[in-house]
Amino acid sequence: MADIRVRSTDGSDADNGTTWALAKATLAGAAAIDAAGDTIVVSSVHAESTAAAVSLAWAGTAAAPTRILSVDDSADPPTALLPGASITTTGANGITLASASTQYAYWNGFTFNCGTGASAASITIQGKQILSGCAFLLVTTAAASVISLSTGQYELRNCTFKFGATGQGFSVAASGKPQLIVGGQIASGGSNVTTLFNTFALGAKALLYGFDLSALAASVDMAATTSSGAALEMRNCILPPSWTGSVNSANPGRGSVFEMYSCWSGSTEIIWRRKIEFGAGRDETTLVRTGGGKHRGVGVSLKCDTTADAEYPLNTFETLQFAAQVTAAQVGSPVTATVEILHDSVTALTDADIWLTVSGPGGEINSDQVADVFATPAAQASSSATWTTTGMANPNAQKLTVTWTPSKAGVVLGTVSIAAASKTVYVDNMMTVAP
């Protein structure tokens, strides 16, 4: 495994890259000779620019990945990372990192500038890669240009992104494992895209943790897709202040889930959002149960709105997962998991309208759902719980209860499913297990 040096200021692709004096001039020059496990050390002053598409394919394998590092070239061999190396394409020319989904590579500290003028040119990321501390800038103003999270499994860590037109955005391909963006930000000074993920392919998935998109306009939508099997999960992200957008402004397709947990818009926390084909949910802090679930000391319930297509047993809306505990003292004796609910109707919800499913620590799965499609639904139990019912004409408190005998101590997980069509239900953000 060798180091191959690259430096555009004085390098030549005719040289062998074994010293700074013999550095290659381009990344392509290094990619032409690299072997699995090599480290490509690129001077932080490296700045290659070409009026042609750049597609970099590395020899790295699972056993011997390739590392491409922007480094301080004051030492030979280099001993310190130093961001700054850049790859630029002009005109209608894109940049592809890993030309196949099977390449293993780690990048650190690069800037990728893609396209110029109104020519369509995209940045495509593929393969099994981690790109850390890199910047991806769509310079082109063509609306069709995208930063494509293509086939492969990769992570973009603490990276910066900038777009050149409002119609641009991320495009996500289906690839099994979700594409992961951890940390990083949308840089200020670029165009405010109207939709962050403007394309989700069938089955595509993306996870964003700690990503800062506060530089975008308040109206930005996270997605606008009807694709099936797509999933977007955002946790601890920073949204634009006074955010008026949607987690998905279109109607999600079959099996798609778009959700947010603990994201911030200015000083307002978006505790929970979910949108699927059969409903949408959000956090609610006024219509809450006295003594019920809290978040940062404030009472919270989950407001769940189902669509007209919701229907038992298949077309349901699910809440986030609740967690509680079965103690060692409770093992071997019946316990009851309870979730309180509130809705505005004199007609009770039945066990075909709404139910709780519990997964016990011993692997037990139990539910208070109606027995089957031929069984006669029964009203879920009435509850004496006290709720704030501002604006409700017929507040109706009920509860979902599941009783079972746990075989082990540990964590119990519960989910509420709602099949009643065109219904709004407030679900207490807490599941209790007693006695």
Partner 1 sequence: MPIISSTYTVGHAQASGLHYVVETHTWDTGEVSKLEYGPLPSKTDFKSIADTRARQIEADRTKAEAEKAEKEAADAKLATVIDAAVKAGTLTKEDIEKAGLDVDLATVEKAK
Q: Which residues bind partner 1 (CB under 8 A)?
A: 194-195, 199, 219, 221, 224-226, 242-246, 249-251, 268, 280, 282, 284-287, 298-299, 305, 390-391
CB atoms within 10 A of CB 329: 9
Torsion of CA 169, 175, 178, 184, to 10 degrees: -40
For partner 1, the closer CB: 60 or 245: 245
* Separation between Cα atoms, residue 185 and residue 18, nearest integer Å: 36
CB contact set of 375 (below 8 Å; sequence gap of 6+): none
Angle at 103 between CA 60 and CA 144, to 5 degrees: 140
Instruction: Give the burial string for 184-206 (b: 16+ CB within 10 Å, else e).
Output: bbbeeebbbbbbbbbbbbebbbb
**Collapsed DSSP state (helix, strand, coil) of residue 365:** strand
Phi, psi of 359 (to 5 degrees): -115, 110
- Which is closer to partner 1, CB of 249 or CB of 262? 249
Name which of 179 and 199 has its Cβ closer to partner 1.
199
Please identify, using beta-carbon distances, which residue of 58 and 170 lies nearer to partner 1.
170
Q: Sign of the C-alpha dihedral, residues 24, 26, 31, 36?
A: positive
Cβ atoms 76, 40 nearer than 8 A: no
Tell me how long the chain is.
435
**CB nearer to partner 1: pick between 111 and 225:** 225
What gap in Å lies between CA 402 and CA 303, rounded to an integer? Answer: 22
Cβ at position 288, least distance to partner 1 in Å = 8
Taking the complex as a whole, the smallest distance from the CB of residue 203 to partner 1 amounts, in Å, to 12
In the bound state with partner 1, the residue whose beta carbon lies nearer, of 57 and 224, is: 224
Q: CB 299 → partner 1: shortest distance, Å? A: 7
CB atoms within 10 A of CB 19: 12
In whole angstroms, how close is the CB of 216 to partner 1 at the nearest point? Answer: 14
Residue 78 or 279 having the CB closest to partner 1: 279
